[in-house]
A and B are shown apart, each in its own frame.
Chain A
Amino acid sequence: MEVELHTTAEVKELLSNMEIIKRFPMICYDKEESRIEGKTAEEIMDEAKTMKYKGEWMVFTSMGVIVGLACAQVEEKKTRNLFLLDFEVASDAQGNGFSNIMLDYVFKYARKHDCQYITLMAFDDSAFEYWKHQGFSVSTKTTPRLRLLFKKV
């Protein structure tokens, strides 16, 4: 399956289409039809804080259709890391191997930027297992990041 990468600022524009939003429930943080009902795409995006991430968005298309979105940010800490803020295959495009292709792009991006690590947050069991399968392991850096996260509460 051929996938094209568009590293672009068009993400917000693309996601202004409600139908596209519905295909990315994680990024738009809404699986509930009832909750987005009556709201404009812009309002939904405003709620989806991910749109405010400073990282670079990657739009993946196949046959002209958006099949995946990712957002990554290079972090300069003790080591140079790529923090994968978002990574999602469209709900109607799953099961076609797109995630592996997308991940290859992310890895290339990380290497291109001389990153030593890719870090991310696994949100649930299935995500945890997925990333484990992709060679990720629980970070020993968990505590500092969790502290940061928790302090935002």
Chain B
Amino acid sequence: MVSKYIYFAANNMIEHPLYMKSFILGETENILERQHQYNVMQKGIQQIPTGTLTSVDGQDGLIFPFVDYFKLTLNTVSNAKNRHDTYLHDIILHERPFKDLVYHVKDKLLMNTKEAFAFYNTSDFIRDIERIKEFLIENLTSFGHYAVMEHLFT
């Protein structure tokens, strides 16, 4: 059995590149600290509600509801609004490689969302995150709050 669990919060994938170092890899030991760091960083954009969850084999930990966050962050670019709001959200909930990563949470703390990413053991996590990254790299046309813009000199 893997003793350390790693949380995966989808919203952490959409983050300021200056803070990429804090991307995802939070272990149960410092998860609260990371949550604090994350909330502080994102204050003014959105406070991310959190809840606790017991993983499949009894590990307690923290999860981030992600649905609302995606709705917010992926709506930034107006011409991509509808696509991302529904498209990516639907993919996360229903399509591979996300589908098998989603836990359906009954916790009352997560009233605003029906699903959340939860804990994975290290090897699963590494495998899955690579799949997710590859998928996103191929499919995203904007990255969270970012849109690349240009001005052409005529």
Chain A residues with CB under 8 Å of chain B are 29, 31-32, 34-35, 47-50, 81, 110-111, 115-125, 128, 131-132, 134-139, 141-143, 145-147, 149-153
Contact = CB atoms under 8 A, between A and B. Distances in A.
B48 interface: no
Contact of B146 (A34, A50, A135, A146): A146
A121 B40 contact: no
A149 B143 contact: yes
B41 to A, nearest CB: 8
Contact of B40 (A35, A116, A131, A143): A35
Interface of B: 13, 16-20, 23-24, 40, 43-45, 76-79, 133, 136-137, 140-143, 145-153
A29 B22 CA distance: 15
A71 B18 CA distance: 15
Nearest to B147: A122
Contacts of B147: 121-122, 128, 138, 142
A150 B151 contact: no
Contact of A152 (B20, B40, B140, B146): B20
Q: Is the interface of A mostly helix, strand, loop or mixed?
A: mixed
Contacts of B17: 49, 149, 152
A150 B150 contact: no
Contacts of B148: 119-122, 138-139, 141-142, 145-146
A139 B24 CA distance: 28
B143 A146 contact: yes
Contacts of B24: 153
B149 A123 contact: no
A137 B147 CA distance: 10
B42 to A, nearest CB: 10
A136 B153 CA distance: 11
19 contacts: A31-B43, A32-B40, A110-B153, A115-B153, A116-B152, A119-B151, A121-B148, A122-B76, A123-B146, A128-B78, A136-B149, A137-B150, A138-B79, A146-B141, A147-B137, A150-B137, A151-B137, A152-B20, A153-B24
Contacts of B79: 138
Contacts of A138: 77, 79, 147-149
Given A128-B77, A138-B77, A150-B137, A50 B149 contact: no
A114 to B, nearest CB: 9
Given A134-B151, A141-B150, 15 more contacts: A29-B19, A31-B44, A81-B150, A115-B153, A116-B152, A118-B150, A118-B151, A122-B149, A128-B77, A137-B151, A138-B77, A138-B149, A146-B141, A149-B143, A153-B20
